[in-house]
Structure 1
């Protein structure tokens, strides 16, 4: 079972985490009666049947001498959507130096991997209920169940949250795009956008004055602006320009495509994708020491209690079996005790297992048999648990090996990229020096680009710039006509930032190529354009481009490369696109971007596919 959601809520010292958990879980279960929950109360530790497809396990950790209490409440529930396990860990440690009251909420599901689990798991309403009832924080940053509206004179709190080095949650800043009179509409949009981020992010909606005040306190690299929703990851480095890439921006074009004009709510798909990176970080990062220790104590107690219950059930089954013994078996016991070679060994066994004060009679032998059977059952249960632990270790070892391989690949690719950058810098320095020596130093000036050409932070934002209806200048020459869901799989794999930047470079190549061709400055195809230094325009390394596929690929898998186009391009509204761009980064996913050069006919390049590497002789 994969973890799809995790939240760590630090409550005020004056609030009992155990009391809060018991109260809110009971209330939460009452709200689930329509889903088949029939029992909503429990009494102490144990296993409780709540309904036909729901069980609750309650575990009490050993109470400490300092008055500390630790509790685990684990709800297992099945519905048509799958099997879900919601685990609530409550830690009440009154003598701790800090974080005396903590709740941890985990949700697991039967997804094939963590990405699928995160995408398919919504934060339980229990978390929103807790945050709406009790003050909670992450580091020094408040966590709330709803976005907080901020006026101009309250911006200090937002700046403090952004720069809070102790937080692990994200800070989402949503400046209003319109006048303050549209506050309710914008609040509704932001609330629906962040519904999947509850418990793992603090969200602030800024009015016009607050937006201006916050922008004045942030460097240009980390600036916030009207209508652009920015997610600040932990450990913000305002003095490092490159740190800006860690803090994603959701632009109005992307948001507008997902907003229902009547309800003012964002689509569930965008809300899920918007929360994914933050949710993944909470699941994959190392747990705080106090949380890790508390969870380990409770899970040990849970294993002990589960083993004891299984053994007890087995004992009860054995007792029933002995109660049904025939009189013949009793006679056999008596006969064994009267047989000289057996009498003394049997007496020794009875004394060893049942105690010195127990007579070696037929009843004692029956009890001895029950005890040995119970011990045998306990050993079988422990063996089963050991096998599960061994399997978990094997899975962890496989994950570690995969992580090491990925790290090695990334190190190699980073080295290649750095070598390429150093080579380019050396060539640039040489060319600049020659131009100065030739008296043409003024030609070395390169004007900064407009912000509108900045690379998007994820694939969804990239698609918004080139999809039909986009207002971006690039859409005039480059249009995406493919299946967006295939492209968005890249974001789900946690690679959105990296590949969005790469594919944006290729989109710009195609834009400048098309503009140059229409202006009569380019008369060759894309691949020749990339290799021609004398032709003006944005370019990438030719090795990143493939003008065609092999004959084998076209013969066997050409149908996979047939993508949608407008009717004015082809009456069947589909054509095969063999030309494609291929980013540097090598992994099993290896995304590609297939396109059709139709500049001579319609003045555009059509991108029919962005997504996982399609089948060829090497996949």
Structure 2
């Protein structure tokens, strides 16, 4: 698997009201228990260290313990870079053998004064040999499941828990406040319960296995039957219902219809097909999000680890006069670890870590800006469509008016409203009205299209799909006459006066090379056509319309055959087909 497609590591970053000492002691206890269960030696308690104010600098106390064959535990503690008053960190890094490499678990606790402590838990697989990464995803560490409830962990104002919290009727306002709180850094995942299913049954059979891979990556909630309608009334553009699960990214804007497209929905039918696969799909975005999120300032000030020279057996203890930091670094006893011949190497690794953090911050800033711009663009597209409808209605009226000053503004507004209301509000209605497009032929599976009505933004998607099909019909009519002036995307970029405008960025000419060269993904886009188009009754439909944003929002795939049969064949209207972001 190529590095860019390798699954991201597991990274949990939370805060705890517990003291630094208590947090580290709990982590050490849980780690020792897990090691014993796995048949490894238990590490001895760490030696007492000096108070933070007396510590001469970062990473002054470091030790490496050998707890079994190729099982190494590094422990270090010290002050933070930048000399933050009263600030300190403690770190534990465990390496255990695994197939084709090493599993590495790193726990870091950073605190300053009376402020809450930051806790970061990272789990990753370090490949050996040529460095080719395996395709398997690093599972959620058991240490995360044990730590979260003991630490009373939070993400800003939001409690982090292993099991989802069931929201009662009186807790809806509190949940909405958490969704909209600007201090929230991680996603909030909210599951709904079908109205005819008992809560306890749905929790046991669906919700718990579905959300198990999200521990420490998102705040987990389930809307009770009484809370569900209140939540959906309050969040008109961000609804979740019918057994669907929705992931709410930070910076939710409840008043924006177009912000809803940023927060992906997993429909019930996909969950029913395969809960295990649905769980893996659901965890993809939160895991990527957590892996790329910038570090809080305290954790960013933790120095890189400088392991001591020689691992010592777990049962031995260093002499009190021994200064671990004064040891010269030597070649580590684990595969794939580069040598560290001195302070120069450590400075280089620190420089790389700082550069990586700068890239994370820049990427986070760019993605937030991109999200805002996409929402603004969708809002402007809606205004443009409304104005275009006004222009068309006005042009029609002016042709019949006797003279200037006779424009009936109330009647004009009514005509514009009537045109906008003419668009179907559901995909069921859209399928029934497809014959209104004489040059378009729908050859796809109606079940995929009708399933969109179970989605949270189904009505908005149906209207936008109708607008895209209307523009396709007008383009087809011009193409048959030889007056289109190019393909559909060019038509959208230069829409003739009086025709329906469809946003050019939502008209895509074809799929990427990655998709077309992937056998399974390409087969998904081999869609039905009449025998007069292809004797196999299948044709590749890479051209498509984007309906909404996000990795699972609907797509309309079509084949432009105007130059031959004089028609456009629409082979698919449904959720986004599989690609690098959805598989």
Query: Considering the TM-score relative to the shorter chain, is it more than 0.5?
Result: yes
**Contact 1:513-1:522 within 8 A present in 2 as well:** no
Counterpart position of 1:282: 290
Q: 1:597 to 1:236 in 2, by over 3 A?
A: closer
Evaluate the alpha carbon distance shift between residue 390 and residue 282 of structure 1 in structure 2; reply closer, same or farther with a 3 A threshold: closer
Question: 1:306 deviation in Å?
Answer: 5.9
1:270 is aligned to 2:242: no
Distance change >3 Å, CA 251–CA 68, structure 1 → 2: same
What's the offset of the Cα at 1:149?
Answer: 2.2
Deviation at 1:447, TM superposition (A): 0.7
Q: 2:43 aligns with which of 37, 41, 44?
A: 41
Alpha-carbon shift at residue 443 of structure 1 (Å): 2.9
1:291 is matched with: 299
Q: How many residues align?
A: 479
Q: CA deviation at 1:103?
A: 1.9
Out of 120, 125, 132, the position equivalent to 1:104 is 120
2:318: which partner in 1? none
> Offset of 1:313 from its aligned partner?
6.9
Aligned twin of 1:381: 342
Residue equivalent to 1:229? 245
Q: For 1:165, which of 157, 161, 182 is the aligned residue?
A: 182
**What does residue 227 of structure 2 align with?**
210
8 Å CA contact 1:193–1:271 kept in 2: the answer is yes
Q: Which moved more, 1:169-178 or 1:44-53?
A: 44-53
* Structure 2 CA distance for partners of 1:27 and 1:542, relative to 1, 3 Å: closer
Higher helix share: 1
Alignment equivalent of 1:447, drawn from 413, 421, 424: 421
Task: Return closer, same or farther for 1:170/1:542 CA change in 2, 3 Å cut-off.
Answer: closer
Is this contact kept in 2: 1:163–1:235, CA < 8 A? yes
CA distance in 2, matches of 1:65, 1:92: 10
Equivalence for 1:577: 540
Q: CA deviation at 1:189?
A: 1.2
The Cα of 1:193 is off from its aligned counterpart by 1.9
Distance 1:278 1:547 in 2: 29
Distance 1:558 1:104 in 2: 40
- Checking the alignment, whether the CA contact within 8 Å between 1:230 and 1:248 is kept in structure 2 is yes
Q: CA deviation at 1:221?
A: 1.5
Q: Distance in 2 between matches of 1:129 and 1:583?
A: 43
Could you say which residue in structure 2 is the equivalent of 1:10?
15
Which string of whole-angstrom CA distances, capped at 9 and with x for unpartnered residues, describes residues 454-511 of structure 1?
9xxxxxxxxxxx99683533899xxxxxxxxxxxxxxxxxxxxxxxx99997898569
Structure 1 residue 389, shift from structure 2 partner? 5.4
Deviations 1:546-565 (A, max 9, x none): 5999xxxx9x9999977656
**Is 1:434 paired with 2:375?**
no
Q: Deviations over 1:30-74 (max 9, x none)?
A: 3434xxxx2232342511223334321111225999987631001
Structure 1 residue aligned with 2:25, among 19, 23, 27? 19
Q: How far apart are 1:5 and its partner, in Å? A: 2.2
Closer/same/farther in 2, CA of residues 242 and 524 from structure 1, 3 Å limit:
same
Q: TM-score, normalised by structure 2?
A: 0.62
Q: Give the one of 303, 323, 328 matched to 2:306.
A: 303
- Give the match for residue 146 of structure 2: 129
Conserved? CA contact 1:6–1:283, under 8 Å: yes
1:84 is matched with which residue? Answer: 103
| 1: CA distance, partners of 2:35 / 2:520 | 51
For residues 277-311 of structure 1, the C-alpha deviation after alignment (integer angstroms, 9 at most, x for no partner) is 33333332332223323x23xx3xx3275698798
Q: Residue 200 in 1 paired to residue 217 in 2? A: yes
Change (3 A) 1:535 1:169: same
Question: Secondary structure of 1:204's partner?
Answer: strand
**CA distance in structure 2 between the partners assigned to 1:164 and 1:407 by the alignment:** 16
CA separation in 1, counterparts of 2:245 and 2:508? Answer: 34
- Note the C-alpha offset of 1:145: 0.6
Secondary structure in structure 2 of the residue aligned to 1:271: helix
Q: How do 1:576-615 residues align onto structure 2 when only pairs under 5 Å count?
A: 577=540, 580-581=543-544, 605-606=570-571
In the TM superposition, what is the alpha-carbon distance from 1:168 to its structure 2 partner? Answer: 1.7
> In 2 relative to 1, CA 410–173 (structure 1 residues): closer, same or farther, beyond 3 Å?
closer
Rate the CA distance shift 1:85–1:605 in 2: closer, same or farther, 3 A: same
Q: In structure 2, how many angstroms separate the alpha carbons of the residues matched to 1:571 and 1:52?
A: 63
Partner of 1:29: 35
> Structure 1: which 5+ runs fail to align?
259-265, 317-377, 455-465, 477-500, 585-591, 614-619
Conservation of the 8 A alpha-carbon contact between 1:9 and 1:103: yes
Report the CA distance between 1:89 and its aligned residue: 0.9
The separation in 2 between residues aligned to 1:538 and 1:105, in whole angstroms, is 50
Aligned match of 1:365: none
Q: Which has the higher contact order (CA 8 A, sep 6+)?
A: 2
3-state DSSP of counterpart to 2:154: strand
The residue number in structure 2 matching 1:255 is: 271
**How far apart in 1 are the matches of 2:579 and 2:134?**
20
Asked if 2 retains the 8 angstrom alpha-carbon contact of 1:171 and 1:201, the reply is: yes
Give CA-to-partner distance per residue, 1:195-250, whole Å, 9 cap, x none.
2221122211122112123334x141233433232222223332344332333322
SS of 1:208's partner is coil
Query: What whole-Å deviation, never above 9, does each CA across 1:150-185 have from its counterpart, x for those lacking one?
Result: 333444543343243332222222121133525223
Indicate yes or no: 2:156 matched with 1:139: yes
Aligned-partner SS, 1:275? helix
Measure, in 2, the Cα distance between the counterparts of 1:424 and 1:213: 32
SS in 2 for 1:199: coil
Cα deviation for residue 80 of structure 1 reads: 1.8
Structural RMSD (CA) = 5.9
- d(CA) in 2 for partners of 1:194, 1:122: 13
Q: Is the 8 A contact 1:179 1:208 kept in 2?
A: no
Task: Identify which of 47, 52, 66 aligns with 2:69.
Answer: 52
